[in-house]
Amino acid sequence: MAEVAEQKKISAWRVLGMALGNRKTGFMLLFGFASGLPFALFLGTLFAWLTEAEVDLETMGIFSLIGLAYAFQFLWSPLIDKIDLPLLRQLGKRKQWIIPMQLLLGGILVTMSLLEPRSQLGMFSLLAGIGAFASATQDIAINAWRIDVADEVATIDILSTVYQMGYRLSSLVGGALGLIIAARIGWPETYMMMGGILLFVGAVGLLAPNAEGAAEMTEGDEQVRALRKAGELVPSIRNRALIAVGLLWAVAIGAVLAFMIMSMTYAPEDRPNPTEFTLTWGPWIIVATIILPALIAGWLSSQQKQGKNLLSEDAPAATGGSYALDHLYRALVLPLVEFVGRMGWSLVLILAVVLTYRICDAIWGTFAYPFYLGELEYTNDDVAFASKFFGVGAIIAGLALGGLMLTTIGRMATLLIGGLLAALTNLLYADMAIGGANMQAFSDAVGFTYLIEQVPGIGDADLAKLTITIGFENLAIGIAGAAYIAWLSSIVSKKFSAVQYALLSSLTLLVGTLGRGALGEMIEKQGYYDVFILTTWIGLAAAVLVCIEWYRESRSRANSGVIAPEAGQAMPAE
């Protein structure tokens, strides 16, 4: 038994080494960096530049609306999955979107560096808005590329971990390092430098491997033609479902666009409140674009399984308007039908994991600085050191450890351990909320306090307990994040990766956004300690759901006759 275990261990380490030396892994790190850099520059560092340019807070509040592009990116994900860009399709199904977006983002950042925010605010805000949509579009395509190119060597687990490492590194470069550079050479020069980096990434990205081979170039057309083969749903039933789903998505997109237009064009006193919009319309947008379409997709799938409303023989090839409707069905409805049909009632469990696993992190992020600066009364320098420098390093270390765990003990075990650790680190913050005596004692006992006291200018025992708390939390977040993205990527189909992944990942972001209002109210009434206890219980509940999902996956593989892969090996490709 020991010899077998040793062979598995060697095999896992060999798989890890092969994956890290793979060409796809290198480009995944590059694309992860390119994905995170615009987010840091448009929704973080940009506000420091606007503050220095003496732009008023209300205007900066309008700038923050560009974050909606990331929250609602799934609304245009079907376009990324279906539409080919003229003259660019030869780059590859995903690269035809990735490379132009990176070059556009680089050009936008360089152009913004030539403008003066205060006197040219209109053009400045327009470029920032276009940049946010381009960045979100790039994210959709990069996530789909990661899922599509995964194989037995560059596994989805390793690619997901490397992607997040690149993303976190870029947040450090675009955030803390950007502030340091700007203090020395100025904001225009800093943004010009960052734009140059993205232009370079776009040029190098041309060499990245394609997500599909030549035989799959017409896969979309083949899926459309297959809709009219015997055994498929009759066109009239499909078209009714398409109209229903199309109307629901149109209403959702219209609501977001109307809100954006009113926010940008109305007088300040007449502008809609972003928080109220998210809390009021956010849940209905989720219902309209995910819940109701999923129910419609479930009904369509049940019709096929029951043999109802099916073509008895091949129908003539679609032409004209029917051809266009078939393509729309393939882009908007078929990804949901495939996912719901494949998962069945297991979809309820999967959505429960998606909604709870990262909710603590998604909600807590908004209140981190008020907790550090207001409640605990640390200085900006203290928080910058503990959160931005040491904290980002801890997340990267957690991602590396998570990647190793994915390779050696498997995806679901890592998902469970990461979830448990992320939940339990809330107790460390609960201790900080009542004085941090336990964290201080631990920091002193392991010698961490002594190390932090050597940091010139700010190092002391108080900073040590904050730093070690943030360090443990971010280490856990890294492990949980590596496992979660890998798991999420593993349950979507490569045929519809852009739409399915965008929908699931957006749920995590939107639910976190919707929960912040309630959490903020709880903080006001009961204080931070009770909030951290609550988020611990939510995290533990998510861990229980992961156990159930682990059992479901094991049973599913056993029932289908598929032997579960050893840790570090890839699941069979679709």
SS (HEC) of 357-416:
HCHHHHHHHHHHHHHHHHHCCCCHHHHHHHHHHHHHHHHHHHHHHHHHHHHHCCHHHHHH
> Do residues 395 and 479 touch, judged by C-beta distance below 8 A?
no
CA distance linking residue 305 with residue 77, whole number of Å: 28
> Do residues 340 and 500 touch, judged by C-beta distance below 8 A?
no
Alpha carbon 121 to its chain centroid, in Å, reads: 30
Residue with tokens 């899926």: 223
Residue with tokens 């083969």: 229
Q: What are 565's two structure tokens?
A: 């892969």
Q: Using CB atoms within 10 A of its CB, is residue 94 exposed (0-12), middle (13-18) or buried (19+)?
A: buried
- Predicted local distance difference test score (pLDDT) of residue 120: 81
CA distance linking residue 305 with residue 301, whole number of Å: 6
Alpha carbon 308 to its chain centroid, in Å, reads: 38
CA distance linking residue 202 with residue 198, whole number of Å: 6
Q: What are 105's two structure tokens?
A: 């983002």
**pLDDT of the chain, 574 residues: tens digit per residue:** 444 444 444 455 565 566 566 788 889 999 999 999 998 888 777 877 877 777 765 566 666 667 677 777 777 888 887 778 888 878 888 899 999 999 999 999 999 999 888 778 778 878 888 888 899 999 999 988 998 888 887 788 888 888 988 998 888 888 778 878 888 888 899 999 999 999 999 999 998 888 654 344 456 667 778 888 888 888 889 999 999 998 998 888 888 778 777 776 676 677 777 667 766 777 788 788 888 988 998 899 888 888 888 888 877 877 777 888 887 888 788 888 888 888 888 888 998 898 888 877 766 666 777 788 778 888 877 887 888 788 888 988 999 899 889 888 889 999 999 999 999 999 999 999 999 899 999 999 999 999 988 888 788 888 999 999 999 999 999 999 899 999 998 888 888 888 888 888 877 766 666 666 666 677 778 888 988 898 899 889 999 999 999 998 888 777 766 544 444 444 433 4
Residue with tokens 């030549």: 214
CA distance linking residue 74 with residue 502, whole number of Å: 5
Least Cα distance to 24 among 129, 131, 135, 146 occurs for 146
> Do residues 349 and 549 touch, judged by C-beta distance below 8 A?
yes
